[in-house]
Amino acid sequence: MGEFVRVETADGVATIRLDRPKMNALNRQVQLEIAECARQVDAADDVYAVVVYGGKVFAAGADIKEMAAMSYADMAVHSRVLQDCFTAVARIGKPVVAAVTGYALGGGCELALCADVRIAGESAKLGQPEILLGIIPGAGGTQRLPRLVGPARAKDLIFTGRHVSAAEALGIGLVDRVVPDDDVYTEALAYAARFVGGPALALRAAKQAVDRGLETDLDTGLEIERLQFSGLFATDDAGIGMRAFSERSTATFTGR
């Protein structure tokens, strides 16, 4: 458990909770703590799904004061650490839900992009305002955002640095569901709970197939899918699932 980021686990769902008042600014320490929590929940056998949550504010972005003191040489080194920390969240081999409240700007938006599903509150604001500082997104925004909303919409958000409302974010596919502000975390937990007791190996394989496939051409993506699909026939869960289907019973998966 870090100073500003901690893992809370209950009933098979882990919450990576950011708690750096007032705006959850993502300084180097927070970034490293996020990565450590991501590795922890990925390895935990009792965790089936993960929620990333920041309380009243998801994360308002990087710590500008910390960044402003960095030289090119400093950032050339730190930018790799920054990307690796966020990628650790994207590589969690379990369903990950971002519960977006308040602001998800800059690095906060990039952190939300690392989730599989984004549930936002009605008053949430999202965006990549780095251009207004004379820089560009550096934690995956120029890569993950266009993969999610398309290059034209991503360029609009990155070029202008404007904030988008939850309603607009839903319309362009930046978030997947909008709910009342007070219900965001509850809804995220409820969605994550759907995977508790599920076929963990198949979920991991599905996530890897989709994510890796998006990084390559169709033929290579299909080969990734084929290998993941075939490999699951070596698992106990596949046998359990297919027997349960044949017997018209409910499968009890073991994660093996």
Query: Which residues are known catalytic residues?
Result: 110, 130
Residue 12: CA atoms inside 13 Å, Cβ hemisphere, count? 15
Q: How many residues does the chain have?
A: 256
Report whether the peptide linkage leading into residue 22 is cis, meaning its omega lies within 30 degrees of zero. yes
Print burial letters for 188-211: b (CB count within 10 Å at least 16), e (below 16): bbebbbebeebbbbbbbbbbbbee
d(CA 164, CA 127): 6
d(CA 246, CA 52): 37
Q: What angle do CA 10, 15, 17 make, to 5 degrees?
A: 135
In angstroms, the Cα distances linking 146 to 72, 128, 166, 224 are 26, 12, 18, 22
